[in-house]
């Protein structure tokens, strides 16, 4: 079994105290939500729990393992917390492997929330708690379906190959074995085929870092892959945010013809995007470069973040005669170096693009 299939790091209870009062009294509660069904029982200082679920698309599945209710431990939050609740610790099984997990029980609301990542935006199972219990038939059916899906997913992750999809569109591949490798291809970024990636574990998430185009300042690409949720994120910053691009991880191989077609589509979309954005940017720069004194200025002295927006282009600004003979600042932008996302050579005046050429990646 691969290292990243070991128990979910950071979620184990460790040295929990004996079961405590979770602040909800004693009784039995049904747990329902997020395609999941379960039961929680607290009685005479004893806590047991069981829940089982499979997402509708089958990308993720989880459960406490087997149809029986499992012992759980309770650790109340500190009294001075903003909204004191309790954490319940229990065995947990997902497509990522077997381990332990924690769920937050809010006495002020009928919910149990089980985080599936290191950050709130990386997903959670939210279960509504209502008095009652599952029938034997409900419990057995839910546990059986979850166990079958978990075993299939664990086998898929053990094979170590997956397709990355944005919606239903293929946009990449990941391979995880003795070493990791990645290919990505859409209008925003592209690797030079399948490239080696460095990877490390960040709790329940795998971080993959790899060379990618465009690389404007030597930066590399980064994917946050969550086997527990069947999702990969392209983070906008150091920590995940709700605005990150989210990709589906589908446990299957990608053949060469399928990848080639997806790459061609990605190149065409990237060129169209660059033509639209860079062309408008060149025309705007041409207009703003002319000073009140009638001289053309470089981007470095203009208001705004022009050097940032022009990263990846060599820019020349010269004074020429426009239509009607009036002086204008002509902008010429050349990709430097030529790479995915930076392929357009553009010549523009304030009224728009005069000439544009797509440079070959060869």
Last residue of one domain, picked from the residues 193, 220, 254 = 254
Residue 48, pLDDT > 50, answer: yes
Confidence of residue 21 (pLDDT cuts 50, 70, 90): low
> Domain for residue 236, yes or no?
yes
245/169 Cα distance (integer angstroms):
14
- Closest to 63 measured CA to CA, from 87, 41, 96: 96
Q: Do 166 and 143 share a structural domain?
A: no
Q: Do 136 and 71 share a structural domain?
A: yes
Q: Do 278 and 232 share a structural domain?
A: no
Confidence of residue 122 (pLDDT cuts 50, 70, 90): confident
Q: What is the mean pLDDT of residues 234-255?
A: 88
Q: Do 49 and 29 share a structural domain?
A: yes
Q: What is the mean pLDDT of residues 32-52?
A: 93
The total of structural domains in the chain comes to 3
Residue 13, pLDDT > 90, answer: no
Give the CB-side neighbour count of residue 323, counting CA atoms within 13 A.
6
Q: What is the mean pLDDT of residues 255-276?
A: 97
12/350 Cα distance (integer angstroms):
61
Segment 289-309, tens digit of pLDDT: 999 888 999 999 998 899 999
Q: Do 290 and 336 share a structural domain?
A: yes
Segment 301-360, tens digit of pLDDT: 998 899 999 999 999 999 998 777 789 999 999 999 999 999 999 999 999 999 999 999
> Domain for residue 155, yes or no?
no
> Domain for residue 218, yes or no?
yes
> Domain for residue 96, yes or no?
yes
Buried-exposed string 86-95: b where 16+ CB fall within 10 A, e elsewhere: bbbbbbbbbb
Residue 5's pLDDT is what? 35
Residue 81's pLDDT is what? 56
Q: Do 124 and 13 share a structural domain?
A: yes
Q: Do 167 and 227 share a structural domain?
A: yes
Q: Do 67 and 141 share a structural domain?
A: yes
Sign, CA torsion 18/22/26/31: negative
Buried-exposed string 192-229: b where 16+ CB fall within 10 A, e elsewhere: eebbebebeeeebbbebbbebbbbeeeeebebbbbbbb
Q: What are the start-end ranges of the H helices in the chain?
A: 136-159, 256-289, 306-309
Residue 8's pLDDT is what? 40
> Domain for residue 262, yes or no?
no
> Domain for residue 328, yes or no?
yes
The mean pLDDT of the chain is 89
Segment 55-99, tens digit of pLDDT: 999 999 999 999 999 999 988 876 555 656 788 999 999 988 899
> Domain for residue 264, yes or no?
no
Q: DSSP for 57-74, please give it.
A: TSS-EEESSSSS-EE-EE
* Domain range for 185: 161-254
Last residue of one domain, picked from the residues 254, 281, 297 = 254
Residue 4's pLDDT is what? 35
Q: Do 167 and 121 share a structural domain?
A: no
E strand spans, 191-337: 195-202, 205-210, 221-226, 231-234, 245-250, 313-321, 327-335
Is 323 in a helix, a strand, or coil? helix
Q: Do 12 and 119 share a structural domain?
A: yes
High-pLDDT (> 90) share of the chain, %: 71
Residue 83's pLDDT is what? 58
Cα 189 to Cα 79, 114, 166, 186, distances in angstroms: 48, 33, 13, 6
Q: Residue 54: which H helix or E strand, with range? A: strand 46-54
DSSP code of residue 213: B
> Domain for residue 154, yes or no?
no
Q: Do 345 and 283 share a structural domain?
A: yes
Last residue of one domain, picked from the residues 195, 221, 254 = 254
Q: Do 66 and 96 share a structural domain?
A: yes
Tokens for 52, please give them.
């089982």
Identify the bridge partners of residue 358 per DSSP, sorted by sequence position.
344
Residue 1's pLDDT is what? 31
Residue 86's pLDDT is what? 85
Residue 22's pLDDT is what? 61
């Amino acid at each position: 079994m691969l290292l990243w299939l070991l128990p979910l790091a950071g979620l184990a209870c460790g040295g929990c105290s004996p079961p405590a009062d979770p602040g909800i009294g004693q009784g039995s509660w049904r747990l329902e939500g997020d395609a999941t069904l379960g039961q929680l029982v607290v009685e005479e200082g004893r806590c047991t729990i069981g829940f089982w679920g499979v997402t509708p698309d089958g990308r993720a599945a989880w459960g406490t393992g087997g149809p029986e209710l499992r012992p759980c431990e309770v650790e109340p939050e500190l009294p001075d917390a903003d909204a004191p609740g309790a954490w319940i610790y229990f065995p947990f099984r997902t497509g990522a492997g077997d381990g332990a997990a924690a769920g937050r029980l809010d006495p002020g609301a009928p919910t149990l929330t089980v985080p599936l990542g290191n950050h709130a935006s990386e997903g959670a199972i939210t279960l509504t708690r209502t008095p009652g219990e599952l029938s034997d038939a409900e419990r057995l059916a839910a546990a059986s379906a979850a166990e079958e899906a978990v075993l299939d997913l664990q086998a898929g992750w053990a094979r170590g190959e997956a397709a990355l999809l944005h919606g239903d569109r293929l946009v990449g591949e990941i391979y995880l074995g003795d070493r990791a490798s990645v290919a990505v291809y859409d209008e925003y970024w592209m690797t030079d085929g399948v490239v080696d990636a460095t990877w490390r574990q960040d709790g329940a998430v795998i971080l993959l870092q790899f060379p990618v185009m465009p690389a404007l300042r030597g930066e590399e690409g980064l994917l946050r892959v969550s086997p527990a949720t069947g999702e990969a994120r392209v983070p906008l910053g150091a920590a995940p945010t709700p605005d990150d691009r989210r990709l589906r991880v589908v446990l299957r191989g990608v053949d060469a013809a399928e990848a080639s077609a997806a790459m061609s589509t990605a190149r065409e979309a990237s060129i169209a995007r660059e033509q639209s954005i860079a062309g408008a940017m060149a025309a705007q720069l041409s207009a703003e470069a002319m000073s009140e004194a009638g001289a053309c200025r470089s981007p470095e002295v203009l208001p705004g973040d022009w050097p940032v927006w022009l990263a990846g282009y060599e820019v020349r600004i010269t004074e020429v005669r426009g239509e009607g003979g009036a002086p204008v600042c002509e902008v010429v932008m050349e990709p430097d170096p030529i790479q995915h996302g930076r392929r357009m050579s553009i010549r523009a005046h304030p009224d728009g693009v005069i000439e544009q050429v797509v440079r070959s990646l060869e």
